[in-house]
């Protein structure tokens, strides 16, 4: 059984928990955008990911 999540699965799960209301077209566009963002994050090394988290924290994005 494969338990590793793909960027697409993460995007869908993220939107499933988002209380915002989207049209079907907006939903598909947002899934693609999030899929690319998750793929980028998943390709980072642990040090690069820590740097991204620190940068977001300094900007006030949690």
Output the pLDDT for position 27: 97
Q: Residue 22 CB: number of other CB atoms within 10 A?
A: 13
50-59: long-range contacts (C-beta < 8 A, 24 or more apart)? none
At residue 43, φ and ψ (nearest 5 deg) are -85, -10
Average pLDDT score over the chain: 93
Is pLDDT of 1 > 70?
no
pTM: 0.77
Work out the average pLDDT over 13-41. Answer: 96
Is pLDDT of 7 > 80?
yes
Is pLDDT of 14 > 80?
yes
Output the pLDDT for position 54: 95
């Amino acid at each position: 059984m494969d338990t590793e999540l793909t960027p697409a699965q993460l995007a869908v799960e993220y939107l499933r928990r988002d209380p915002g209301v989207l049209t079907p077209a907006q939903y598909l566009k947002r899934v693609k955008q999030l899929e690319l963002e998750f793929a980028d994050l998943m390709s980072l090394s642990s040090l690069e990911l820590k740097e991204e988290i620190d940068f977001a924290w300094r900007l006030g994005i949690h």
